[in-house]
Amino acid sequence: MKIGFIGLGSMGLGVARRLLKAGHELTVWNRSSEPVQALVADGAIAAREPAEVLQGELLFSLLASDEAVRAVGLDGPLLERASAGLVHANLATISIELARELADAHASRGLGYVAMPVFGRPEAAAAGELALVLAGPPSAIASVRPVLSAISKTQRVLGERAEHANLFKIAGNFMIASTIETIGEAYSLLRKGGVDPAQFYELLASTIFASPVFKNYGKLILDGKFEPAGFKLPLGLKDVNLAREAATQLAGALPIAELLEARFAQALKRGWQDKDWTAITALDD
């Protein structure tokens, strides 16, 4: 298939490489040139401007925030230059409000839109082992299905409302952030009591907490391995705030999110913007 890709951060780069390996024709654009050149060396085509990646059958985007999506013009202006019938699969974690707006903007122009946020860290993206959550018109989802096996091992379709996929992802990231904080607090308690957290991790990771989140993040926190970041701390704060915003819009309450927002903000005040989001567990060291 002829596919365009916008947003080549550590996650996007891995996904794009999987699409190339699967034999798709890939045109790429990114604000910084380094990842573009790396993909060109792998066989991709470098776009001179964002509009050039909207000339194929599919567009994948994985941008960092609502603001980045709007800056590129995917909420309207750029769509005017898309090829007829283009289907856009948005892999980013964005607000439920923008998800609704994007779905309407694409539909009004006769374009397909699939909200397709991803679960997984850069190593999972590179291995094609992401978990995807999809929502959008059945015809648009059918258009992206042929490429899903190249980039993911699990997919879940939630229906036609794009914001449902993004709310699903926001809730999932909120749970991960909460788990990170809980693991850090538990390790701190053990150390203060003279108990080795490594033994705690080894037992729980093989028994009652034998899950990818505890195994992966528990080990990162145990080792204090916060750089290079798989998911940078500012993105963690962004996702916690997306959860808080969604709760406000839906008349819900997320008291733990209030605590997490304070923890992430404190970490950023220390200049930890390039550290992994698990670095919030080092605040009390």
Active site residues: 169
How many other CB atoms are found less than 10 A from the CB of residue 23? 10
Phi-psi region of 83 (alpha: psi -120 to 50; beta: other; left: phi over 0): beta
259-270: buried (b, 16+ CB within 10 Å) or exposed (e) per residue?
Answer: ebbebbeebbee
**Spatial distance between the Cα atoms of 36 and 18, rounded to a whole number of angstroms:** 15
Give dist(CA 133, CA 139) in Å, integer.
16
Measured distance CA(68)–CA(93) in Å, rounded: 11
- Cβ count within 10 A of residue 196: 12
Nearest to 121 by CA among 282, 278, 257: 278
Return d(Cα 132, Cα 65) in angstroms, integer: 18
Query: In this structure, what token pair is assigned to residue 106?
Result: 């694409």
